[in-house]
Protein backbone atom coordinates (compact mmCIF):
# COMPACT_ATOMS: atom_id res chain seq x y z
CA UNK A 1 0.00 0.00 0.00
CA UNK A 2 1.13 3.52 -0.73
CA UNK A 3 -0.13 6.52 1.23
CA UNK A 4 0.06 9.65 -0.91
CA UNK A 5 -0.17 12.76 1.28
CA UNK A 6 -0.04 15.85 -0.95
CA UNK A 7 -1.44 18.73 1.10
CA UNK A 8 0.06 18.53 4.61
CA UNK A 9 3.10 20.63 3.67
CA UNK A 10 3.49 24.21 4.85
CA UNK A 11 6.87 25.10 3.37
CA UNK A 12 6.25 28.11 1.12
CA UNK A 13 9.86 28.29 -0.13
CA UNK A 14 9.90 31.89 1.09
CA UNK A 15 6.95 32.95 -1.07
CA UNK A 16 4.54 35.47 0.32
CA UNK A 17 1.40 33.40 0.98
CA UNK A 18 -1.36 34.78 3.22
CA UNK A 19 -1.67 33.00 6.54
CA UNK A 20 -5.45 32.76 6.04
CA UNK A 21 -4.93 30.68 2.91
CA UNK A 22 -2.45 28.36 4.61
CA UNK A 23 -4.74 27.96 7.63
CA UNK A 24 -7.82 27.24 5.55
CA UNK A 25 -6.58 24.93 2.82
CA UNK A 26 -3.65 23.03 4.30
CA UNK A 27 -4.68 19.43 5.06
CA UNK A 28 -3.36 19.92 8.58
CA UNK A 29 -1.64 17.00 10.24
CA UNK A 30 -2.71 14.46 7.61
CA UNK A 31 0.94 13.36 7.61
CA UNK A 32 0.45 12.29 11.25
CA UNK A 33 -3.13 11.12 10.90
CA UNK A 34 -2.58 8.52 8.17
CA UNK A 35 -0.36 5.67 9.29
CA UNK A 36 -0.13 2.03 8.44
CA UNK A 37 2.76 -0.27 9.22
CA UNK A 38 2.23 -2.05 5.87
CA UNK A 39 2.38 1.10 3.76
CA UNK A 40 4.99 3.37 2.27
CA UNK A 41 4.15 6.98 2.96
CA UNK A 42 4.89 9.83 0.54
CA UNK A 43 4.46 13.23 2.19
CA UNK A 44 4.87 16.28 -0.05
CA UNK A 45 6.58 18.92 2.13
CA UNK A 46 5.80 22.05 0.11
CA UNK A 47 2.59 24.06 0.53
CA UNK A 48 -0.09 23.46 -2.10
CA UNK A 49 -0.16 27.23 -2.66
CA UNK A 50 3.33 26.99 -4.16
CA UNK A 51 3.06 23.59 -5.87
CA UNK A 52 -0.09 21.46 -5.91
CA UNK A 53 0.97 17.97 -6.99
CA UNK A 54 -2.68 16.87 -7.25
CA UNK A 55 -3.36 19.13 -10.21
CA UNK A 56 -3.04 18.16 -13.84
CA UNK A 57 -0.83 20.19 -16.19
CA UNK A 58 -2.47 23.57 -16.89
CA UNK A 59 -3.98 22.68 -20.26
CA UNK A 60 -6.02 19.81 -18.71
CA UNK A 61 -6.77 21.28 -15.31
CA UNK A 62 -10.21 22.77 -14.60
CA UNK A 63 -8.92 24.54 -11.47
CA UNK A 64 -6.25 26.32 -13.54
CA UNK A 65 -9.04 28.53 -14.91
CA UNK A 66 -9.73 29.87 -11.43
CA UNK A 67 -6.07 30.37 -10.58
CA UNK A 68 -5.49 27.12 -8.73
CA UNK A 69 -3.56 24.90 -11.09
CA UNK A 70 -0.15 23.49 -10.18
CA UNK A 71 1.04 27.00 -9.23
CA UNK A 72 -1.77 28.94 -7.55
CA UNK A 73 -2.19 32.51 -8.77
CA UNK A 74 -5.27 33.07 -6.59
CA UNK A 75 -5.83 32.48 -2.90
CA UNK A 76 -9.07 31.50 -1.23
CA UNK A 77 -10.44 35.08 -1.13
CA UNK A 78 -9.67 35.95 -4.73
CA UNK A 79 -6.38 37.47 -3.55
CA UNK A 80 -3.51 37.40 -6.03
CA UNK A 81 -0.51 35.17 -5.46
CA UNK A 82 2.71 35.97 -7.26
CA UNK A 83 4.22 32.92 -8.91
CA UNK A 84 7.99 32.97 -8.70
CA UNK A 85 10.14 30.59 -10.78
CA UNK A 86 7.31 28.55 -12.32
CA UNK A 87 9.87 26.51 -14.24
CA UNK A 88 11.58 25.47 -11.01
CA UNK A 89 8.22 24.57 -9.44
CA UNK A 90 7.27 22.45 -12.44
CA UNK A 91 10.54 20.55 -12.02
CA UNK A 92 9.59 19.80 -8.40
CA UNK A 93 6.14 18.68 -9.63
CA UNK A 94 7.62 16.38 -12.31
CA UNK A 95 10.15 14.90 -9.89
CA UNK A 96 7.39 14.13 -7.38
CA UNK A 97 5.32 12.30 -9.99
CA UNK A 98 8.37 10.41 -11.26
CA UNK A 99 9.17 9.34 -7.69
CA UNK A 100 5.60 8.11 -7.27
CA UNK A 101 5.82 6.07 -10.49
CA UNK A 102 9.18 4.58 -9.45
CA UNK A 103 7.81 3.65 -6.04
CA UNK A 104 4.77 2.02 -7.65
CA UNK A 105 6.95 0.07 -10.10
CA UNK A 106 9.14 -1.10 -7.25
CA UNK A 107 6.16 -2.06 -5.09
CA UNK A 108 4.66 -4.07 -7.97
CA UNK A 109 7.86 -6.15 -8.03
CA UNK A 110 6.95 -7.46 -4.58
CA UNK A 111 3.16 -7.38 -4.49
CA UNK A 112 0.61 -8.44 -7.08
CA UNK A 113 -1.75 -5.52 -6.29
CA UNK A 114 -1.24 -2.06 -4.86
CA UNK A 115 -3.79 0.14 -3.18
CA UNK A 116 -2.79 3.76 -3.73
CA UNK A 117 -4.47 5.77 -0.98
CA UNK A 118 -4.76 9.50 -1.59
CA UNK A 119 -4.96 11.03 1.90
CA UNK A 120 -6.65 14.40 2.49
CA UNK A 121 -8.77 16.47 4.83
CA UNK A 122 -11.24 19.26 4.10
CA UNK A 123 -12.83 22.26 5.82
CA UNK A 124 -16.39 21.67 7.02
CA UNK A 125 -19.38 23.28 5.30
CA UNK A 126 -23.10 22.70 5.65
CA UNK A 127 -24.08 19.35 4.18
CA UNK A 128 -20.55 18.02 4.05
CA UNK A 129 -20.03 14.46 5.31
CA UNK A 130 -17.54 13.24 7.95
CA UNK A 131 -15.59 11.28 5.36
CA UNK A 132 -15.50 11.64 1.60
CA UNK A 133 -14.29 8.65 -0.40
CA UNK A 134 -13.02 9.36 -3.90
CA UNK A 135 -12.90 6.70 -6.57
CA UNK A 136 -11.89 6.22 -10.20
CA UNK A 137 -13.05 3.68 -12.77
CA UNK A 138 -10.43 1.24 -11.50
CA UNK A 139 -11.36 1.40 -7.81
CA UNK A 140 -12.89 -2.02 -7.00
CA UNK A 141 -16.41 -1.87 -5.60
CA UNK A 142 -15.41 -4.37 -2.86
CA UNK A 143 -12.78 -1.91 -1.66
CA UNK A 144 -15.31 0.94 -1.46
CA UNK A 145 -17.77 -1.35 0.34
CA UNK A 146 -15.08 -2.37 2.84
CA UNK A 147 -14.32 1.25 3.64
CA UNK A 148 -18.00 2.17 3.96
CA UNK A 149 -18.72 -0.86 6.16
CA UNK A 150 -15.83 0.06 8.43
CA UNK A 151 -16.99 3.65 8.80
CA UNK A 152 -20.64 2.93 9.66
CA UNK A 153 -20.47 5.22 12.71
CA UNK A 154 -19.78 8.16 10.41
CA UNK A 155 -21.52 10.01 7.63
CA UNK A 156 -19.68 8.87 4.50
CA UNK A 157 -20.23 10.09 0.96
CA UNK A 158 -18.72 8.74 -2.22
CA UNK A 159 -17.18 11.35 -4.55
CA UNK A 160 -18.82 14.23 -2.65
CA UNK A 161 -17.75 16.97 -2.11
CA UNK A 162 -14.56 15.84 -3.85
CA UNK A 163 -14.19 13.18 -6.49
CA UNK A 164 -11.51 10.99 -8.02
CA UNK A 165 -8.18 9.86 -6.67
CA UNK A 166 -4.62 10.32 -7.86
CA UNK A 167 -3.38 7.79 -10.40
CA UNK A 168 -0.33 8.38 -12.59
CA UNK A 169 -1.19 8.16 -16.32
CA UNK A 170 1.13 5.20 -16.70
CA UNK A 171 -1.11 3.14 -14.39
CA UNK A 172 -4.51 4.18 -15.71
CA UNK A 173 -6.21 0.94 -16.77
CA UNK A 174 -3.68 -1.21 -14.89
CA UNK A 175 -5.74 -3.91 -13.19
CA UNK A 176 -3.13 -4.30 -10.44
CA UNK A 177 -3.45 -0.74 -9.15
CA UNK A 178 -6.40 0.29 -7.00
CA UNK A 179 -6.67 4.03 -6.33
CA UNK A 180 -8.88 5.31 -3.53
CA UNK A 181 -9.08 8.73 -1.89
CA UNK A 182 -9.88 9.14 1.79
CA UNK A 183 -10.80 12.68 2.85
CA UNK A 184 -11.52 13.47 6.49
CA UNK A 185 -13.63 16.43 7.58
CA UNK A 186 -11.39 18.70 9.68
CA UNK A 187 -14.17 19.10 12.26
CA UNK A 188 -13.58 15.46 13.26
CA UNK A 189 -9.98 15.88 14.35
CA UNK A 190 -8.66 19.45 14.37
CA UNK A 191 -10.45 20.92 17.39
CA UNK A 192 -8.58 19.12 20.13
CA UNK A 193 -5.99 16.45 20.82
CA UNK A 194 -8.52 13.84 22.03
CA UNK A 195 -10.41 14.06 18.74
CA UNK A 196 -7.14 13.86 16.86
CA UNK A 197 -6.02 10.72 18.69
CA UNK A 198 -9.40 9.08 18.23
CA UNK A 199 -9.52 9.69 14.47
CA UNK A 200 -5.89 8.65 14.12
CA UNK A 201 -6.81 5.25 15.57
CA UNK A 202 -9.91 4.95 13.36
CA UNK A 203 -7.83 5.68 10.26
CA UNK A 204 -5.06 3.34 11.32
CA UNK A 205 -7.61 0.53 11.73
CA UNK A 206 -9.26 1.40 8.42
CA UNK A 207 -5.89 1.24 6.64
CA UNK A 208 -5.30 -2.13 8.35
CA UNK A 209 -8.53 -3.41 6.78
CA UNK A 210 -7.40 -2.10 3.37
CA UNK A 211 -4.00 -3.81 3.84
CA UNK A 212 -5.78 -7.12 4.53
CA UNK A 213 -7.80 -6.66 1.35
CA UNK A 214 -4.58 -6.03 -0.61
CA UNK A 215 -3.02 -9.13 0.99
CA UNK A 216 -5.97 -11.31 0.00
CA UNK A 217 -4.67 -11.28 -3.59
CA UNK A 218 -1.30 -12.79 -2.68
List residues near Zn ion by CB under 5 A: 7, 27, 120
**Smaller CB separation from Zn ion, 168 or 174:** 168
In the complex, the smallest distance separating the C-beta of residue 8 from Zn ion, rounded to whole angstroms, is 8
**Smaller CB separation from Zn ion, 4 or 120:** 120
- Round to whole Å and give the CA distance between 211 and 1: 7
In the complex, the smallest distance separating the C-beta of residue 200 from Zn ion, rounded to whole angstroms, is 17
Phi, psi of 16 (to 5 degrees): -90, 90
**Smaller CB separation from Zn ion, 7 or 55:** 7
In the complex, the smallest distance separating the C-beta of residue 7 from Zn ion, rounded to whole angstroms, is 3
131-134 and 177-185 strand pairing:
antiparallel
Number of H helices, E strands in the chain: 5, 6
In the complex, the smallest distance separating the C-beta of residue 65 from Zn ion, rounded to whole angstroms, is 19
**Smaller CB separation from Zn ion, 7 or 15:** 7
In the complex, the smallest distance separating the C-beta of residue 154 from Zn ion, rounded to whole angstroms, is 18
- Round to whole Å and give the CA distance between 117 and 125: 24
DSSP letter for 191, please. S
**Smaller CB separation from Zn ion, 27 or 214:** 27
61 in Cβ contact with 69 (< 8 Å): yes
3-state SS, residue 68: strand
**Smaller CB separation from Zn ion, 113 or 120:** 120
In the complex, the smallest distance separating the C-beta of residue 110 from Zn ion, rounded to whole angstroms, is 28
The number of residues making up the chain comes to 218
Taking alpha carbons only, the member of 145, 143, 181, 189 closest to residue 161 is 181
110 in Cβ contact with 103 (< 8 Å): no
Amino acid sequence: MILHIPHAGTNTLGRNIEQFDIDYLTDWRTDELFNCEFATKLVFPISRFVCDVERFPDEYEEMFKIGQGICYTKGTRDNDIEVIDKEGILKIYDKWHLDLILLMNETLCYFSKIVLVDCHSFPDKEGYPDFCIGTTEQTPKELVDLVQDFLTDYDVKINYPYSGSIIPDKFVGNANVFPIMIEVNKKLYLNNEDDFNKIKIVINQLLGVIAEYEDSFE
